[in-house]
Amino acid sequence: MSRIFTTSVSSVYPHYVTKVEKKGRTRAELHQVIEWLTGFDEPALARHLEAGTTFEEFFAEARLNPAAGRITGVICGIRVEDVEDPLMQRIRYLDKLVDEVSRGKAMEKVLRQ
């Protein structure tokens, strides 16, 4: 089991915010990506952040977007579509989406529309 599985989403979330804001994107865009992937709106996300929900618990409760399988590419040197562990793949999906937002990719493309 990877250590990230038991890491709280709230401990990583500030890094996501910093990453997107440093590149001129907004927290609202980050939340839009999280909601698209997981189904968690802002109040639900806030509850998870306050509760210290682990990534394992977070994705166990998520309603993964059916289009998530169209997320492809490399994050941290690993192709997300080749990740075998379903939970790790979902975490990598989130990482990839955050990376795409921070790189200035159009939201329509980030959200696979």
Cβ 52 vs Cβ 83: under 8 Å: no
Q: What is the pLDDT of residues 16-52, one digit of tens each?
A: 999 999 999 999 999 999 999 999 999 999 999 999 9
pTM of the model: 0.93
What CATH number is given to the structural domain containing 90? 1.10.8.290
In a domain, 10, yes or no: yes
Instruction: Give me the residues paired with residue 79 across strands.
Output: 74
**Is residue 112 a part of any domain in this protein?**
no
Residue 29 lies in a domain: yes
User: How many domains does the chain divide into?
Assistant: 1
CB 90 within 8 Å of CB 64 = yes
- Token digits for 9? 């989403």
Residue 26 lies in a domain: yes
Residue 78 CA to residue 6 CA, distance in Å, equals 21
Q: Which range marks the domain in which residue 14 is found?
A: 3-107
Residue whose tokens read 């289009």: 67
pLDDT tens digits, 47-106: 999 999 999 999 999 999 999 999 999 998 999 999 999 999 999 999 999 999 999 999
